[in-house]
Chain A
């Protein structure tokens, strides 16, 4: 299971050019995401309206009241949320791959998705018993943490306490939670549509409140993960080797997993299950820019944000004014793109 992800990483530093490129990509994605949508807003007027927010700049824009509402209450928060969720999923994916030395690791590896799914399903069904819509993200978050907590407990008490044991415990816990979720859902067939909509992932109904909910987790989690980027490079040589180099492997793993899980749980709670971002973005970074976590982590955050903003743009516009589940977009466009990167790259994964 513990396939060597990177060879011993080259002493790669994060080159300024890469960083600037990633920032430029994110800015372009956000600009596009704000300018384009199912309702046509003149990009020039949008730009003028946004500039008008700056202190000292005053000028009328040509947007109607409805258009202003659409821009600030619907489109902008959705773009920002897409960026936060994308950054979190890609960053957490990179961190999981590093800490488990497994290229297939994604943020849902230890049961986050299954736990959140069970929590969300219970909350959606609980509506009939008086729960409000606000309970869904809370329940999803709690379910995600419960599943990963259980995985961690199992992984520590069973077997040899290696990364592989933890992954296998995650597989067992995820299967169990998925079974429970399916059972509960089957017993309440009338909530199918809502449960499935949640499972497929969606940024659609969000306003600024979701942004406020998820942002603190993304910031804290991102800071912890970035602080461990060098440790992840050392871990790449193997647990025992890292230990001989003075790294407290168990502790590093705990911190990284805890931070990545907390951030992922928050992201999943507001957006549902959006697949593939945590795999395709970090690997693309590795193939293009190098496999040191000093490069992979920061670039994954930036590119993940841009990628999901673009994916959501497609989800909003491809069938406009109808919507597509964003999970369909991330896989449909992400997979071929990833194959392209794999084919054209000479790097090994």
Chain B
């Protein structure tokens, strides 16, 4: 039982511990103009400052409650690869002083050996941050940092695109880049709409198998990544397998072969060296429709497991794969 629990925890962590990079910030609007048309969970607190009105202090509604940031942060620490990608995408990159060891995008992110999985409060505090962003609290991380007077934004793995937009806007508000954040969200939304519109409707939905690792862990349509596939009308073969509603069932290989999905997406190319070639060499897999029709698509593990701005890139790759299949018959 303990092992099962550990596995589940490990899974949750691995799924949460990957994140991506960014569309370029598209706006030079000054941060004070914080009206956006997009729905946002952030609120700008009224300020009584007599000098420059830079919007601070602000209060942001994050997963750990209302977080108040007194001044525009200049020493942000991100322990979440996704948050790192978001911060750089909204032009807050020069405010970031340290990111965790899994934050590998964008390249200029100041990667350190800080761990988002086993975080050490002292090591984080040593960077003297005025804002810390985390996606995972192993127990007392948030409370310990708050006890030191450091504001912490907890931004757990998104379960929907709206969560992604909300997190981007939270980061925008908390770092004084709300306009850029709003612009990024608007751009992501219009790009996603464009991609979705470019994919023709089908009578029979295409099915896919999204591979998380070579032991056949997969995702259902209810997960974040599964919802992104759903935007294009794709259906996960893992849906019937998710008996406990966790969203990430381990499939049996017999079942995958029997389902014969139209598309196979490999989110284990970097972690586990999988490729269309290794898939074709697996016993019994060479007969699969997707293998024979070349519909085995290697993904960037990081993009596929984070919920950052690069999710638009991911959607584009999927749409392209769908477009190369036989036209609707």
Interface digits, A14-41 against B, CB 8 Å rule (1 contact, 0 not)?
0000000000000000000000011100
Cβ of A235 to closest chain B Cβ, rounded Å: 34
- CB pair A74 B273 closer than 8 Å: no
The answer to whether the Cβ of A244 comes within 8 Å of any Cβ in the partner chain is no
Interface digits, A56-70 against B, CB 8 Å rule (1 contact, 0 not)?
000000000111011
Find chain A residues with CB under 8 A from B282 CB. 207
- CB pair A189 B260 closer than 8 Å: no
- CB pair A65 B287 closer than 8 Å: yes
The answer to whether the Cβ of B241 comes within 8 Å of any Cβ in the partner chain is yes
Q: Which of B13, B14, B252, B287 contacts A321 (CB 8 A)?
A: B252
- CB pair A133 B214 closer than 8 Å: yes
- CB pair B14 A193 closer than 8 Å: yes
- CB pair B10 A196 closer than 8 Å: yes
- CB pair B252 A69 closer than 8 Å: no
A208 nearest CB neighbor, chain B only: B283
Cβ of B267 to closest chain A Cβ, rounded Å: 12
Q: Which of B17, B115, B215, B255 contacts A320 (CB 8 A)?
A: B255
A199 nearest CB neighbor, chain B only: B3
The answer to whether the Cβ of A82 comes within 8 Å of any Cβ in the partner chain is no
- CB pair A321 B257 closer than 8 Å: no
12 more contacts with CB within 8 A, not counting A70-B257, A196-B6, are A66-B257, A69-B287, A128-B271, A194-B271, A197-B250, A204-B215, A204-B250, A205-B253, A208-B283, A322-B243, A323-B251, A328-B3
The answer to whether the Cβ of A47 comes within 8 Å of any Cβ in the partner chain is no
Q: Which of A73, A131, A190, A327 contacts B14 (CB 8 A)?
A: A190
The answer to whether the Cβ of B213 comes within 8 Å of any Cβ in the partner chain is yes
Interface residues in B183-219 (C-beta closer than 8 Å to A): 212-217
Q: Which of A127, A131, A205 contacts B215 (CB 8 A)?
A: A205
The answer to whether the Cβ of B240 comes within 8 Å of any Cβ in the partner chain is yes
Interface residues in A48-107 (C-beta closer than 8 Å to B): 65-67, 69-70, 73-75, 77
Interface residues in A273-300 (C-beta closer than 8 Å to B): none
A190 touching B17 in the complex, CB below 8 Å, given contacts A197-B213, A328-B4? yes
- CB pair B213 A320 closer than 8 Å: no
Bound: A316/B241 CA distance, A:
12
- CB pair B13 A127 closer than 8 Å: no
When A and B form their complex, which 9 residue pairs have the shortest distance between CB atoms, in order from nearest?
A: A207-B283, A321-B255, A73-B284, A322-B241, A322-B249, A192-B10, A73-B283, A39-B258, A189-B117
Bound: A327/B4 CA distance, A:
10
Bound: A164/B6 CA distance, A:
33
Bound: A184/B251 CA distance, A:
28
Bound: A108/B214 CA distance, A:
26
The answer to whether the Cβ of B53 comes within 8 Å of any Cβ in the partner chain is no
Find chain A residues with CB under 8 A from B216 CB. 204-205, 323
Q: Which of A74, A131, A200, A327 contacts B253 (CB 8 A)?
A: A74
The answer to whether the Cβ of B254 comes within 8 Å of any Cβ in the partner chain is yes
Q: What's the interface size class on B, roughly? A: 35 or more
Which residues on B are within 8 Å of A, measured CB to CB?
Answer: 3-4, 6-7, 10-11, 13-14, 17-18, 102, 115, 117-118, 212-217, 240-243, 249-255, 257-258, 260, 270-273, 278, 282-284, 287
Find chain A residues with CB under 8 A from B241 CB. 319-322
The answer to whether the Cβ of A132 comes within 8 Å of any Cβ in the partner chain is yes
Find chain B residues with CB under 8 A from A327 CB. 3
Bound: A327/B118 CA distance, A:
27
Bound: A218/B313 CA distance, A:
50
The answer to whether the Cβ of A229 comes within 8 Å of any Cβ in the partner chain is no
The answer to whether the Cβ of A162 comes within 8 Å of any Cβ in the partner chain is no
- CB pair A204 B253 closer than 8 Å: yes
Bound: A80/B284 CA distance, A:
17
Interface digits, A184-213 against B, CB 8 Å rule (1 contact, 0 not)?
001001111110110110101101110000
Bound: A133/B278 CA distance, A:
10
- CB pair B287 A189 closer than 8 Å: no
Q: Which of A65, A69, A191, A323 contacts B250 (CB 8 A)?
A: A323
Cβ of A95 to closest chain B Cβ, rounded Å: 26
Find chain A residues with CB under 8 A from B13 CB. 189, 192
- CB pair A193 B11 closer than 8 Å: yes
- CB pair A193 B254 closer than 8 Å: no
A189 touching B283 in the complex, CB below 8 Å, given contacts A39-B258, A194-B271? no
Find chain A residues with CB under 8 A from B115 CB. 189
Bound: A67/B282 CA distance, A:
16
Bound: A128/B10 CA distance, A:
19
- CB pair A69 B257 closer than 8 Å: yes
- CB pair B252 A127 closer than 8 Å: no
- CB pair B254 A39 closer than 8 Å: yes
Interface digits, A289-326 against B, CB 8 Å rule (1 contact, 0 not)?
00000000000000000000000000010011111010
Find chain A residues with CB under 8 A from B283 CB. 73-74, 77, 207-209
Cβ of A330 to closest chain B Cβ, rounded Å: 12
**Which of B217, B249, B250, B273 counts the most A-chain CB atoms under 10 A from its CB?**
B250
Find chain A residues with CB under 8 A from B251 CB. 321-323
Cβ of B116 to closest chain A Cβ, rounded Å: 8
Bound: A321/B243 CA distance, A:
9
